[in-house]
Amino acid sequence: MSKEEVTATRKRLDPEQRREQLLDIGAKLFGERPYEDVLIEEVAELAGVSRGLMYHYFPNKRDFSAAIVQRSAEQLLAATEIDPNLPMAEQISAGLDAYINHFVKNPHGVLAISRGSLSGDPAIQRVVDWEQEVLRDRMLGALGVPDDQREITAAALLGWIGFTRAVCTDWIQSPSISREDLRD
């Protein structure tokens, strides 16, 4: 952000607006650089607030990153909500496109969560697990699985989601195939 943008952000905001501003700045920085390279002090400076105010909203960098991951998961889930009236193949294709778009827009965050310093953090893992469970449950609902097949289908879908996440993570790190081939 430029100094003009920082100066423009130095205004009184209500607590929710300030929190969202801090999350926006953090998401942008974490999207551009690895977790380790983003400093809380930098986020506070870009927001035009004191470091103390930053810690009022987020007690530490891990909590701040967990809030960013939670918001990112919510955005991913909103983006992957597909029209149930579409044929199943189109629903899957549209959902995968939205999923891949999310990974492309957030490469550093995805890598930090999947393989980096945040991958073993329990708070981050809870968000990832929740996101995957929501995706699984949506797919179960869309497929109309009979009750006697629900558990085995749920396990298979969770495995497929984990596989998809791993393949997309590999691809953003080293895109050796086209995006279309990745989706297909």
Longest Cα–Cα distance in the chain: 61
Count of alpha carbons within 13 angstroms of residue 92, beta-carbon side: 12
Cα–Cα distance for residue pair 25/20, rounded to 1 Å: 9
Summarised one tens digit per residue, pLDDT across range 140-160 is 988 889 999 999 999 999 999
> What is the per-residue pLDDT across 44-59, written as a single tens digit (0 to 9) for each?
999 999 999 999 999 9
| Spatial separation of the C-alpha atoms in residues 29 and 26, rounded to whole Å | 5
pLDDT in tens, 33-43: 878 888 999 99
pLDDT: is 181 or 12 the higher one? 181
Q: What are phi and psi of 148, to 5 degrees?
A: -70, -10
Eight-class DSSP state of 144: T
Question: What pLDDT shows up at residue 19?
Answer: 93
Q: What's the rounded Cα separation, in Å, for the pair 138 and 145?
A: 11
Six-digit token string for 183: 């989706």
Dihedral Cα 71, 76, 82, 87, nearest 10 deg? -160
Is 157 strand, coil or helix?
helix
Q: What is the mean pLDDT of residues 76-94?
A: 89
